[in-house]
Structures are given as structure tokens and as C-alpha cells.
Structure 1
Amino acid sequence: MKPVVAVGLLLGGAVVGLAAVALHTIWWGLLLGALATAATVYALPAGWWLRASFGVGWAALVGYLSVPRPEGDYVISADTNGYLLLGLAVAVLVVSLATLPRPTSRRADTGNGPSAS
């Protein structure tokens, strides 16, 4: 079930990223995209299957759309709004990956080791 949820959130992140890119040229569209993204990242629990998959999907789509098209034009404008959107993409990716839970040891602690007191 976890892989299905991860794929769904990956696609959901890509859809929200596409909406943010489509509206980023208008000030309220950029604000709406940033608030929707921030609320979703904040609401999703940390983990590979949830927050990280959404964040990777969002940042990957924004990153893909930042590459110039074959005609030579760009989907993301080279102005303040475009740079804010790219900065938001970096921030979403960093927060999504930096808040992953720490890995736990699979060995059972026997209590025979040195004390950390």
C-alpha cells in the first residue's frame, strides 16, 4: 500500500507544481502556489512515502520546466516571480528530504555496551 500512496503523492506533487508554474507570472498565483505547497508539505508527515515523495514530485516538475524548450523559450520567466518559484522548489526539496526520520538500528540493544552517562 505504501508504494501506491508514494506514487499518488509523487503525481500530486507534480500536479501542484504544474499549477504553481502555470500561475507564477501573476503575483497572487505565485502566492497561491506557494501557500498551497507549503500547507501540503507542512501537513504531510515526514517520511519517504509521504512528504518526500510529494516534495520530489513538485521539485522535479518545476526543475523540468525550468529547462529551455527546443524553440529557445522558457516556461518559467526570468524575473522576480520566476526566481522566487525556483527558490521555492529548492526549499521544498530541502525541507522534504531534511525532515526525513533518522534511520534506526535493526539490532536489539542488549544493554551490555558502555553507558553514555
Structure 2
Amino acid sequence: MRLLAAVGLLVVGAVTGIAAVAVHDRVWGFVLAAAATVVTTLALPPGWWSRLAFAIGWVAMVGWLTIPRPEGDYLISQDWQGYSVLGIALLLPIVAVGTLPRPRPRDPRTGTP
């Protein structure tokens, strides 16, 4: 069940990343994309299968869309909105990894957490 949730959140993160890149050049689009990304990230419970999966999907898609196109131009603009999208792409995995639950110590007698 966790694997299915992780794959679903990976896809949701990728779709959200595509939408963020598609509308970031308009101020209202950037605000909506940034708010949707931040709120979704913080609303998901911290964990390998939830918040981190969403963040990986979002960052992977934005990173893939950052590569120059064959015409020589970029999908992400070189203005404050574009650099802010790249900044979010840098901060999102830091937040996702930084909020992972701490591992529980194992009981020396039974070997279980």
C-alpha cells in the first residue's frame, strides 16, 4: 500500500511541477504554483513514502524541464519568477529530507523498534 501511495504522490508531484513551470511567467500563476507546492508539501505527513515522494516528483520534473530545448531557449524564464521556481526546487528536497521522522532506537533484548 505504501508503494502505491509513493508512486501516486510521485506522479502528483510531477504534474504539479509541470503546472508550476507552465504558469510561472504570470504573477498570479507563480503565486498559485508556489502556494500549491508549499501547502501540499506541508500538508503531507513527513515520511519516505509521502512528503519525500511528492518532493522528488516535483523536483525531478522541474529539473527535467530546465534543460534547454532544441531551439536553444528555456521553459523557465530568467526573471524573478523563474529564479524563484528554481529556488523552490532547491528548498523542497531540503524540507522533505529535513522533516523525515527520526529512526526509533531498537530494543536490545528483542531487536524491534
Q: Deviation at 1:104?
A: 2.5
Q: Once the two structures are superposed, what CA deviation does each residue of 1:12-61 show, in whole Å capped at 9, x if it has no partner? A: 00001111100000001000000011110111000000000001100111
Trace 1:68-107 onto structure 2 (pairs within 5 A).
68-105=68-105, 107=106
Work out whether 1:23 is the aligned partner of 2:6: no
Q: Deviation at 1:70?
A: 2.1
When the two chains are superposed, the root-mean-square deviation of aligned CA atoms in Å is 1.1
Q: How far apart are the structure 1 equivalents of 2:9 and 2:75?
A: 23
Using structure 2 for the length normalisation, give the TM-score. Answer: 0.91
Identity of aligned residues (%): 53
Q: How far apart are the structure 2 equivalents of 1:70 and 1:33?
A: 26
Work out whether 1:55 is the aligned partner of 2:51: no
Mark the runs of 5 or more structure 2 residues left unpaired by the alignment. none
Using structure 1 for the length normalisation, give the TM-score. Answer: 0.88
Q: Deviation at 1:73?
A: 1.0
User: How many residues are treated as equivalent by the alignment?
Assistant: 109
Q: Deviation at 1:80?
A: 1.1
3-state SS of 1:108 partner = coil
Mark the runs of 5 or more structure 1 residues left unpaired by the alignment. 111-117
| Partner in structure 2 of residue 108 of structure 1 | 107
